Amino acid sequence: MGLLARTVAAVHGQRALVPDPRHEIELSAELTERYDRGELAELYSRFQSREGYVDALLRRACLRALARRFGNDITIGCNVSIRHPETIEFGDGVWIGEQTVIHGRFDGQCVIGDGAWIGPHSYMDARDLVIGECVGWGPGAKVLGSMHIGEPVEEPIIRTPLAIAPVRIGAWADIGVNATLLPGVTLGQGCIVGAGAVVSRDVPAFAKVAGVPARVIGRRKPPSGACAPAIAGSADAP
């Protein structure tokens, strides 16, 4: 007989949002005036790998100065690597775990919605990525938003053009540990992606998917009454 599980209250999903203090916002504004973007990126790297209040404060201050949008009460773990932060929007209450890589593109867009939780060791090809509010992203999960087309065959694949396909994650979705989302997929509101799944096509709202490639294995009953708005383009049909 297996060991019995126990149920405890959620932590991140239930915590109250705390507005950032004035001194932190003013520090970020001061850094913006004193440093150019390259210098700010270098400054961020100085405080990237250490824990503690001061280093976490300075990571946030640098990213607030660099990002397209940076909300309140954001946690940036140690050794989080972010390329092209000027294209990234961080919502309020976002939590990003240690050693996560967010790989943006100079002409791309990435939105991480309010209350999203991004587990440690995650990888995000964030060239055209939108994550809705209150999304749970399991440790080690990955999203690929681009791929080389492989033509012409006379060239090595890595020299062929890159096709960028948008990836959209609906509000309330939950992505399992080590799952992989492939370019061009849309995940509907409130869906669940199982651990280790490889998602190669759209997932309906409130569906449960698992496997390689991922298949629908069940449905969650949508809440009655009004739901939180799903992101544009969410998959609502099987």
pLDDT of the residue at 225:
64
Query: Per the structure, how many domains does the chain have?
Result: 2
Check whether residue 126 and residue 213 sit in a common domain: yes
181 close to 167: Cβ distance less than 8 angstroms: yes
Rounded to whole angstroms, the Cα distance separating 228 from 199 reads 24
In a domain, 5, yes or no: no
200 close to 183: Cβ distance less than 8 angstroms: no
Query: What CATH number has the domain bearing residue 141?
Result: 2.160.10.10
pLDDT of the residue at 233:
37
Per residue in 176-225, pLDDT tens? 999 999 999 999 999 999 999 999 999 999 999 999 999 999 999 988 86
Q: Is the pLDDT of residue 232 over 50?
A: no
Q: In sequence order, what are the residues at sequence separation of 6 or more whose Cβ sits closer than 8 angstroms to the Cβ of residue 86?
A: 37, 66, 67, 68
Rounded to whole angstroms, the Cα distance separating 100 from 91 reads 17
3-state secondary structure of 70: strand
Per residue in 142-185, pLDDT tens? 999 999 999 999 999 999 999 999 999 999 999 999 999 999 99
In a domain, 232, yes or no: no
pLDDT of the residue at 61:
97
Taking each helix axis from N to C end, the angle separating 37-46 and 22-34, rounded to the nearest 10 degrees, works out to 130
In a domain, 56, yes or no: yes
Closest CA to 126 of 99, 89, 159, 179: 89
| Pairing between β-strand 136-137 and β-strand 174-175 as defined by DSSP bridges | parallel
pLDDT of the residue at 5:
86
User: Domain span at residue 158?
Assistant: 74-218
pTM to 2 decimal places: 0.90
pLDDT of the residue at 236:
38
Check whether residue 48 and residue 122 sit in a common domain: no
Name the percent of the chain lying above pLDDT 70.
Answer: 93
